[in-house]
Amino acid sequence: MWSRIATMDGFEGLPHVGRMLMGLGAVLLVLGAFLMLAGRVPHVGKLPGDIVWRHGSFTFYFPIVTCLVLSGLISLVLWLLRK
């Protein structure tokens, strides 16, 4: 048993997991940067069709049109990158 641990037998998949974690970290980094800068871009989250419901001290905000526009832009960029 100790010889197996010393030679790291059975851990061949770890480089794949490491690459996957690094990719996930890169995605989170880009998402975090986008969220930090989104407040400075005009009209993001304030497009016509975004739902805002205020009732007393409660406000519900659902930016559905903004989500659709961002989804379209991301799809277009990914489509262009694949070509």
DSSP category for residue 17: H
Query: What integer pLDDT is reported at residue 10 of this predicted model?
Result: 63
Per-residue pLDDT at 18: 85
What is the band of 11 on the pLDDT scale with cuts at 50, 70, 90?
low
The per-residue pLDDT for 47 is 83
Identify which of 31, 58, 62, 60 has the alpha carbon closest to the alpha carbon of residue 45.
Answer: 62
Global pTM?
Answer: 0.51
How far apart are alpha carbons 30 and 34 in whole angstroms? 6
Per residue in 28-81, pLDDT (tens digit) is 998 888 888 877 777 767 788 889 899 999 999 888 998 899 899 989 998 998
